[in-house]
Amino acid sequence: MEEIERALGYTFKDKNLLRLALTHKSATHSNKNCYERLEFLGDAALELAVSKYLFVHFPELSEGELTNIRAAVVCSQTLSKVAEKLNLKNHIIFGKREKMEKFHENKSILADVLEAIFGAIFIESGFDIVEKIIVNLLKPYIQKAVTGKLFYDYKTKLQEIVQREGNKKIVYKDCEIIEKKYFKSELFIEGKKVSEGYGTSKKEAQQDAAYKFLLEMGEQEE
């Protein structure tokens, strides 16, 4: 957990609070002993921090533009990227079954845990502290969103690339896993499996699969 604290630039006084923020419900018999309640709080702190930053620093933007930019910044795709840079996936506490399903690779879970950590910091040190941490972590993504460079339609991007190379057949095979809450999507091109993705919906899982293949092809930045 010290690795996470160093990356955040914040040291928890109560280590059990950080541990709770890292605990998936599969590892406990009670929803009160997992990260979900902290995630609820962290989500609210995140939205307020990003909203305030956008309002103060971009007075030329309309309400609609501010709303769209905020949505791109606080979505699970962006948050999971931040979580990956913090190496959260190696610290999340899962039940054995979820580890077998490779849930540590699930972007939605990474995003949820990051929000839970924000919630834990808010509980321990208040909004001003967690606001600074949120802005520090998300400022590069805010800048990209403002300039229109935060792009997440990986399926369309992949389709365009494949069409340029001869219009090969792309197929996504989806299945629902683990208590009907998460989805897995396998990406096939010309009948060959090239990647797989995870998400809380079929659409999100397909986007994740396309993103991973684009990364492998060198067509997408992390």
pLDDT in tens, 49-92: 999 999 999 999 999 999 989 998 998 889 999 999 999 989 99
Compute the 3-state secondary structure of the chain and give helix, strand, coil in percent, each to the nearest 5: 65, 10, 25
pLDDT score of 189: 94
Which pLDDT score, from 0 to 100, does residue 106 have? 73
Which residues have C-beta within 8 Å of that of residue 108, sequence separation ≥ 6?
Answer: 76, 80, 182, 198, 199, 200, 204
Name the catalytic one among 3, 5, 43, 60.
Answer: 43
Sort residue 178 into left (φ over 0), alpha (ψ -120 to 50) or beta. Answer: left
Query: Is 216 one of the annotated active-site residues of the chain?
Result: no
Q: Which domains does the chain have, with CATH numbers?
A: 2-146 (1.10.1520.10), 154-217 (3.30.160.20)
pTM for this one?
Answer: 0.76
- Whole-angstrom distance, CA of residue 69 vs CA of residue 73: 6
pLDDT beneath 50: ranges in the chain: 100, 104
- Angle separating helix axes 76-85 and 107-125, nearest 10 degrees: 80
- 128 tagged catalytic: no
Q: Residue 115, annotated ligand binder?
A: yes
**Has 124 been labeled as part of a binding site?**
no
Q: Which of 47, 101, 115, 165 is catalytic?
A: 115
pLDDT of res. 179: 60
Q: What's residue 118's pLDDT?
A: 99
Residue 39 among known ligand-binding residues? yes
